[in-house]
A and B are shown apart, each in its own frame.
Chain A
């Protein structure tokens, strides 16, 4: 049976996940799971590594996160985790902005949380699951039973839209969880929402449950014995194959089918990031590349034009041509100009052009800033041309 695991945590959930993204990807490939959704706690830290690993193994890596949220609906200090999957590039932008917002606010590392109004503000392009033990539905059921649970899901539907809310079901062979699942199914049926089976993966294989328990003890600053029931009650939060999940959800096959359908919907991957570098203003009639080439040529003339070793001049010319070709290919003319020129401006103590970026330190962060070009641009600038 085809199945996609859409709720997995990696070690990038810092002490709440035991496996690295690469391990998860490898086990996915072994289990013939075509895609995986990595929802780390309050961040997308693990997504790049998962993306790279998945690419190598021919899998798809869906991006998402579990977003901590202090919810006033549940009374005093009720903190839930909302599992959010990115559907579109806008969704990715929204998710990153949302996490950045509350991360900037937090007093202590890992203690920040979003407000529901912020979630509403950044809901576009995201798909929300009702979550597992720490999710909003479980919290609502715990506090107010079925009615409260239904209200919490209705609110999610209002926020994300009926097509973007999935009632999540997990089965870890646990009596209490099954009771919650029954309530969740009833709520889903009453609101005509799709069910979604996940395994709330915290580790790739059952053996890693022990690692997870040790990490939990570390997180709680206690011993294994002292951690008590905060540890795993069994070793069922591993990456199950489609066959296993099919057997586990034999009474709710649509929950399994929906994983594939949702995976197909989630078109966004990290390769679709569409990152655009800041634009550098150039004189009319010039492109960024022609402008950069001209400035580089001027610098080159200053540096190597007169009374220089012919051989050295030829080597420098070839180097510059090679680097310019690379910049053109990677479409990095803007950032190269900005960095090179601002670096040169900083060195000379004046600006190449009024209003240009004045942050020479930015140069360090841009791996594509070519040393030769910067040198040329600096020469050009410092000579006053």
Chain B
């Protein structure tokens, strides 16, 4: 068996700066705690060079010029941990989630695919770099040795089988997670490395430290028989970031979206998945003047026509959607969550006419939605209800449904409906319309058919009823129109519903 341990050094600092390259390039300190006990919990290397240390107070850290102070974010750490899981899942399904910063994976069978253990470790590191994570990789014949190898190395460490103890002899004892009492005892004895602990006589060690002492000695000698317990945590593809100050500029938001989407698509690709839906959450700053938004949280959901990992497409759709539905206030936080779906692989039929590319079509539809409104773009779909206009707009999906031929027993004329219906003045003779005036023109009714009575939804507030007439109208200049007029049975008002072709 061959196990690889992936270890993220300085995990809290890496998670805090993972999605912000500007921050990552400068010295920063991550602080946590309840005021006034807010202390530094992580630092990057540049901050350490400026003589900052973990445990100093936030006020002390702020005194260091040029150092950014970041609040510790559990969300960002969860996101980084998720990214780490996605990274390792690309290599092996047998993966044990040991800690936020440590994962073990079984790489026994990977040599045929990726080559030597060193090449495997390099591939894992390269994948992690794509996800903005710097990792160390230790590979050994047992799990514990792999963990210690990863924790002691600066990059990659491969322990040959049977020589674990020899390679780990200089490793410090504090990576063993010893209890304070045992650590104190060993320090008093002058035992500080794996090698020193491994050479102690077993009987004497047992007499002084008991079974725990023997267990520790076995570990430092590379004699671990721990088995892998693969974990399958629920996968969540969510990335987000907090702004130091409210952002109003859409261009700045687009820059952030691009970064988040890139991370999401890399993570999805690592699991051979694609984004089926995209959920955007924006936390808004309502404290400023002239904000239109009333809710602190602004959410949007983009349903994609086909699952995709195309960052540019996702970004364009997101931008268009936000242009059509403005948040109405400066943004404090951004979170993007992708609903994972299997990528759709469809082979088009040889005789099927080529349709528009779904991604480009979606962008076009998004542009149209922005121009004319959300509910005015799509395909009309008949509703099986008694309504004045029994249809609704559904998402345009060419070829999704077969068009059924009409089963009407008589020829039907097409009616061009006036939206909104044109109010009319109608004079009746013997209960039938005689003259009709609408749009400033007066017409004589030369033929009338009706009334056709329709009503429905009587159990709701939207109950309606109308008497419809099909009328042939003749204007004074002999212009003829074939229209559908109706009298609203609730308001008694006359309207022209539309004109027949």
Q: Which residues of A contact B (CB under 8 A)?
A: 141-142, 145, 172-176, 179-180, 183, 210, 213, 224-225, 228-229, 231, 233-236
Q: Is the CB of A176 within 8 A of B458?
A: no
Chain B positions 448-474 with a Cβ under 8 Å from a chain A Cβ: 450-456, 458-459, 465, 467
Bound Cα distance from A180 to B455, whole angstroms:
21
Q: Which residues of B contact A (CB under 8 A)?
A: 383-386, 407-410, 450-456, 458-459, 465, 467
B385 / chain A contacts, CB cutoff of 8 Å: 225, 228-229
B408 / chain A contacts, CB cutoff of 8 Å: 176
Which of these, A142, A174, A175, A210, contacts B458 with CB under 8 Å? A210
Q: Is the CB of B455 within 8 A of A173?
A: no
Closest B residue to A214 by beta carbon equals: B459
Which of these, A145, A210, A233, contacts B386 with CB under 8 Å? A233
Bound Cα distance from A231 to B455, whole angstroms:
11
Given the contacts A231-B386, A233-B386, A176 and B410 also touching, CB distance less than 8 Å: yes
Q: What 8 A-B pairs come out closest when comparing CB atoms?
A: A228-B384, A179-B410, A173-B453, A234-B453, A228-B385, A141-B409, A234-B455, A224-B459
A176 / chain B contacts, CB cutoff of 8 Å: 408-410
Bound Cα distance from A180 to B410, whole angstroms:
8
Q: B417: shortest Cβ distance to chain A, in Å?
A: 16
A173 / chain B contacts, CB cutoff of 8 Å: 450-453, 467
Q: Is the CB of B455 within 8 A of A233?
A: yes
Closest B residue to A210 by beta carbon equals: B458
Bound Cα distance from A374 to B493, whole angstroms:
75
Closest B residue to A225 by beta carbon equals: B385
A233 / chain B contacts, CB cutoff of 8 Å: 386, 454-456
A141 / chain B contacts, CB cutoff of 8 Å: 409
Q: Is the CB of B384 within 8 A of A180?
A: no
B409 / chain A contacts, CB cutoff of 8 Å: 141-142, 145, 176, 179-180, 183
Most buried by B among A142, A224, A225, A234: A234
A180 / chain B contacts, CB cutoff of 8 Å: 409
Bound Cα distance from A168 to B467, whole angstroms:
24
Bound Cα distance from A25 to B275, whole angstroms:
66
Q: B497: shortest Cβ distance to chain A, in Å?
A: 13
Q: Is the CB of A231 within 8 A of B452?
A: no
Q: B408: shortest Cβ distance to chain A, in Å?
A: 7
Bound Cα distance from A236 to B467, whole angstroms:
12
Known: A228-B385, A228-B386, A236-B453. 13 other contacts (CB 8 A): A142-B409, A173-B451, A174-B453, A176-B410, A179-B410, A180-B409, A183-B409, A213-B459, A233-B386, A234-B454, A234-B455, A234-B465, A235-B455
A172 / chain B contacts, CB cutoff of 8 Å: 453
Q: A212: shortest Cβ distance to chain B, in Å?
A: 11
Bound Cα distance from A377 to B455, whole angstroms:
67
A142 / chain B contacts, CB cutoff of 8 Å: 407, 409
A224 / chain B contacts, CB cutoff of 8 Å: 459
Instruction: Pull 22 A–B residue pairs with CB atoms less than 8 Å apart, ordered by A.
Output: A142-B407, A172-B453, A173-B453, A173-B467, A174-B452, A175-B452, A176-B410, A179-B410, A180-B409, A183-B409, A210-B458, A210-B459, A224-B459, A228-B386, A229-B385, A229-B386, A231-B456, A233-B454, A233-B455, A233-B456, A234-B454, A234-B465
Which of these, B384, B458, B459, contacts A229 with CB under 8 Å? B384
Bound Cα distance from A234 to B453, whole angstroms:
6
Q: A37: shortest Cβ distance to chain B, in Å?
A: 25
Bound Cα distance from A176 to B410, whole angstroms:
8
Q: B432: shortest Cβ distance to chain A, in Å?
A: 12
B456 / chain A contacts, CB cutoff of 8 Å: 231, 233
Bound Cα distance from A228 to B456, whole angstroms:
10
Q: B212: shortest Cβ distance to chain A, in Å?
A: 68
Q: B450: shortest Cβ distance to chain A, in Å?
A: 8
B455 / chain A contacts, CB cutoff of 8 Å: 233-235
B383 / chain A contacts, CB cutoff of 8 Å: 228
Bound Cα distance from A183 to B410, whole angstroms:
10
Most buried by A among B407, B454, B456, B467: B456
Bound Cα distance from A174 to B384, whole angstroms:
17
Q: B433: shortest Cβ distance to chain A, in Å?
A: 15
Closest B residue to A247 by beta carbon equals: B431
B453 / chain A contacts, CB cutoff of 8 Å: 172-174, 234, 236
Bound Cα distance from A229 to B454, whole angstroms:
12
Bound Cα distance from A234 to B451, whole angstroms:
12
Closest A residue to B451 by beta carbon equals: A173
Bound Cα distance from A179 to B385, whole angstroms:
22
Q: A162: shortest Cβ distance to chain B, in Å?
A: 25
Bound Cα distance from A173 to B451, whole angstroms:
6
Closest A residue to B390 by beta carbon equals: A229
Q: A294: shortest Cβ distance to chain B, in Å?
A: 69
Bound Cα distance from A210 to B465, whole angstroms:
14
Q: A111: shortest Cβ distance to chain B, in Å?
A: 24
Q: B290: shortest Cβ distance to chain A, in Å?
A: 42
Closest A residue to B407 by beta carbon equals: A142
B450 / chain A contacts, CB cutoff of 8 Å: 173
Q: A222: shortest Cβ distance to chain B, in Å?
A: 11
A183 / chain B contacts, CB cutoff of 8 Å: 409
Q: B471: shortest Cβ distance to chain A, in Å?
A: 14
Closest A residue to B382 by beta carbon equals: A229
A145 / chain B contacts, CB cutoff of 8 Å: 409
A229 / chain B contacts, CB cutoff of 8 Å: 384-386
Q: A322: shortest Cβ distance to chain B, in Å?
A: 59
Bound Cα distance from A246 to B128, whole angstroms:
86
